[in-house]
Structure 1
Amino acid sequence: MTAFALVSGGHVGGWVWRETAARLRRAGSEAYPATLTGLGDRRHLAGPGTDLDTHIEDLVQLIDHTDDPALVLVGHCYGIYPAVGAADRRPERIARVVYLDAPLPQDGYSMFDQVREQMADAATRERMLGQAERAEDGWRVPPPSLEEWRRWGNVADVPAEELARLARLAAPHPLGTMTRPLRLSGAAAGLPASGIFCTAGGGMSTAALQRLIDSGDPRVQWLADPRMGFFDLATGHWPMLSAPGELADVLLRATAGEGQRLSAGATPRSGQVR
Structure 2
Amino acid sequence: MSDILFLHGSLHGAWCWRDMLPALTALGHSPRAMDMPSHGKDTTPLDQVTLDSCVASVVDQLGDNTVLVAHSWGGYPATLAADIAPEKIARIIYVCAYIPREGHSLVDMRKLAPRQPILKAIKRAADNKSYTVDPAHTREVFYQDCPEGTEDFALAHLTPQATLPQITPAKLGLGHTTCAKSYVRCLYDNAIPTEFQAEMVRDWPAKDVYEMPTSHSPFFSDPTGLAALINTILKE
TM-score normalised according to structure 2 size: 0.90
Taking the aligned partners of 2:202 and 2:195, their CA distance within structure 1 comes to 16
Please list the CA deviations of residues 187-208 of structure 1 after superposition, one character each: whole Å capped at 9, or x if unmatched.
Answer: 12022111111112575279x9
- The answer to whether the Cα contact below 8 Å between 2:188 and 2:194 also exists between their aligned partners in 1 is no
Which protein has greater RCO, CA pairs closer than 8 Å, 6+ apart?
2
Is it true that 1:235 corresponds to 2:214 in the alignment? yes
Residues 253-268 of structure 1: pairs in structure 2 closer than 5 A = 253-257=232-236
TM-score normalised according to structure 1 size: 0.78
Please list the CA deviations of residues 125-169 of structure 1 after superposition, one character each: whole Å capped at 9, or x if unmatched.
Answer: 8x38x96x8225442212x1332212332x232112111111111
Taking the aligned partners of 1:20 and 1:220, their CA distance within structure 2 comes to 25
2:5 counterpart SS class: strand
In structure 2, the residue matched to 1:91 is: 86
Is it true that 1:119 corresponds to 2:113 in the alignment? yes
* Structure 2 unmatched ranges of 5 or more: none
In structure 2, the residue matched to 1:250 is: 229
Aligned residues: 234
- The answer to whether the Cα contact below 8 Å between 1:139 and 1:174 also exists between their aligned partners in 2 is yes
Max Rg structure: 1
* Structure 1 unmatched ranges of 5 or more: 213-218, 258-274
How far has the Cα of 1:221 moved from its partner? 5.1
In structure 2, the residue matched to 1:164 is: 152
Taking the aligned partners of 1:176 and 1:45, their CA distance within structure 2 comes to 14
Is it true that 1:34 corresponds to 2:34 in the alignment? yes
- The answer to whether the Cα contact below 8 Å between 1:14 and 1:35 also exists between their aligned partners in 2 is yes
- The answer to whether the Cα contact below 8 Å between 1:110 and 1:181 also exists between their aligned partners in 2 is yes
- The answer to whether the Cα contact below 8 Å between 2:4 and 2:69 also exists between their aligned partners in 1 is yes
Which shows bigger deviation, 54-63 or 22-31?
22-31
In structure 1, the residue matched to 2:23 is: 23
Which shows bigger deviation, 196-205 or 173-182?
196-205
Question: How large is the RMSD of aligned CA atoms in angstroms?
Answer: 2.4
Taking the aligned partners of 1:60 and 1:174, their CA distance within structure 2 comes to 20
Taking the aligned partners of 2:154 and 2:16, their CA distance within structure 1 comes to 8
1:45 counterpart SS class: coil
Query: What is the one-letter code of the residue matched to 2:172?
Result: L
Residues 1-274 of structure 1: pairs in structure 2 closer than 5 A = 1-42=1-42, 44-63=43-62, 66=63, 69-116=64-111, 118-121=112-115, 123-124=116-117, 127=119, 134-142=124-132, 144-153=133-142, 155-200=143-188, 203-204=193-194, 209=198, 220=201, 222-224=203-205, 229-257=208-236
